[in-house]
Amino acid sequence: MKISLVTTLPGLGENKRIEEEVKALGHEFKLLNLKNFEFKIDQNYKSEFNNLEADIVIVRGVVHSIKPIAAILENLRRQGVRIFDNNFLNHKYAIDKVTDITKLALASIPVPKTYYARDWESISKNADKLEYPLIFKSARSGKGASVFKLENQEGFKKLIADLQEKDKNAKSFIAQEFIDYKYDLRALIVGEKVFTMRRIPGEGEFRANFSLGGSVELYDLDEEGKFLAVKALRAIDMTVGGVDILIDKDNNRFILEVNHTAGMLGMERATGENITKTYVEHAIEKAK
């Protein structure tokens, strides 16, 4: 079969691993890099996307030009090309923590106390009710970017003033309680399989992201934890994703967020398993 990977994040190491596993399974592979999305339409109203030769298209890491790329993918599906998009075509977003945490809360999944508003005045007035320290983070960034831990009201007001000066929109941020965690876990779910690692922050860092230099180790997540992680992923309506779980000092569990394009390299290092092969086989099986 001819399998194409559509992405706007061509530099991800996972892309090379996907290519390796697709070829190891005996299929042809092509990476369609749409990071700098552009096209031309000729006098016959056709573009280069009309003639994409692929039996299956895997969609992973589309974070730019989402609506036109979705239109192209929907047209490919109408032409009979099988698509594995992890429900991207229904969501029409890759990172939207406001929507995701709303879905989690509606599904009665434990999340940190959260405050969201679309204007700075409301945020300034109500975020203090979360108590300090608190977390203030971007609703549209991943890999630990634009996440601030604020120790007091003075620091919070200074950050708000800096963001306003930079003409940032209040609707792009979320305020949450800080969970003094014992364990920061990433559960990577691929279909029915759950892989789990503990993420350990580097010295002087409260964020434990592998991409920020944190270390990882295998973690034996119990059945209750696996059930909660799968429930969170299903609430977001995906079959593949990374679920971040915090366990506090009293062993309470909180779902911090669900990552739509979860990295696999750190998890492969922690578990020693070929997770990318599992992902590719799942994508082929579920493509429609």
- 143-178 residue pLDDT tens: 667 889 999 989 999 999 999 999 999 999 999 999
- The domain in which residue 216 lies consists of 181-259
Q: Is residue 41 part of a domain?
A: yes
State the Cα–Cα distance between residues 196 and 189, nearest whole angstrom. 9
Helix ranges, 79-207 (H): 88-91, 97-106, 120-126, 153-165
Distance from C-alpha of 122 to C-alpha of 155, rounded to nearest angstrom: 17
Same domain, yes or no: 254 and 185: yes
**pLDDT for residue 47:** 56
The reported pLDDT for the residue numbered 67 is 94
Whole-number average pLDDT of the chain: 90
pLDDT for position 126: 83
CATH code of the domain covering residue 127: 3.30.1490.20
Contact 58, 17 (CB under 8 A): no
pLDDT digits 0-9 by tens, 36-61: 887 777 766 555 566 678 999 999 99
Supply the DSSP symbol for 108.
T
Across 19-28, 42-51, 64-73, the highest mean pLDDT is recorded for: 19-28
**For residue 120, is it within any domain?**
yes
Domain end marker among 161, 177, 193: 177
Q: How far apart are CA 174 and CA 100, in angstroms?
A: 12
pLDDT at 224 over 90: yes
Per-residue confidence (pLDDT) for residue 215, from 0 to 100: 76
- Kindly report the backbone phi and psi dihedral angles of residue 71, in degrees, each rounded to the nearest multiple of 5, phi listed first: -65, -40
Do 185 and 172 sit in the same domain of this protein?
no
With 80 as the cut, is the pLDDT of residue 201 above it?
no
The residue to which tokens 């194409």 are assigned? 4
- Nearest to residue 6, comparing CAs of 99, 81, 79, 91? 81
The stretch 186-195 carries a mean pLDDT of: 96
Lowest mean per-residue pLDDT among 107-111, 204-208, 232-236:
204-208
Separation of alpha carbons 29 and 5, rounded Å: 8
Q: Is the peptide bond before 133 cis (omega within 30 degrees of 0)?
A: yes
| 253 and 186 belong to one structural domain | yes
Report strand pairing: 147-150 vs 173-177: unpaired
Instruction: Quote the CA–CA distance of 133 and 39 in Å, as a whole number.
Output: 48
- Asked if the structure places residue 73 within a domain, the reply is yes
Residue 106, in any domain of the structure: no
Average pLDDT over every residue of 14-20: 98
Domain total in the chain: 3
- Tell me, yes or no, whether 264 lies in a domain: no
Check whether residue 37 and residue 82 sit in a common domain. Answer: yes
The CATH code of the domain that includes 216 is 3.30.470.20
In this structure, the answer to whether residues 8 and 35 fall within a common structural domain is yes
The CATH number given to whatever domain includes residue 29 is: 3.40.50.20
Report percent pLDDT > 70 for the chain. Answer: 91
Considering the domain boundaries, does residue 62 fall inside one? yes
Q: Are residues 200 and 248 in the same domain?
A: yes
| 73 and 150 assigned to the same domain | no
Same-domain status, 78 and 11: yes
Looking at 177, 198, 222, the residue that finishes a domain is 177
Domain boundary among 60, 91, 122: 91
On the question of pLDDT at 62 being above 90, the answer is yes
Q: Looking at residue 51, what is its pLDDT? A: 64
> Do 166 and 208 belong together in one domain?
no
From first CA to last CA, the distance across the chain in angstroms is: 14
Same structural domain for residues 121 and 173?
A: yes
**In-domain check, residue 121:** yes
Same domain, yes or no: 164 and 189: no
Residue 237 lies in a domain: yes
Q: Which long-range contacts (CB under 8 A, 24 or more apart) does 233-239 make?
A: 233/189, 233/258, 235/103, 235/104, 235/106, 235/107, 235/109, 236/100, 236/103, 236/104, 236/260, 237/87, 237/90, 237/91, 237/103, 238/86, 238/87, 239/86, 239/87, 239/189, 239/190, 239/191, 239/282, 239/286
Looking at the predicted structure, is the pLDDT value of residue 89 above 60?
Answer: yes
Do residue 251 and residue 199 come from a single domain? yes
What pLDDT score does 282 carry?
Answer: 98
pLDDT at 266: 86
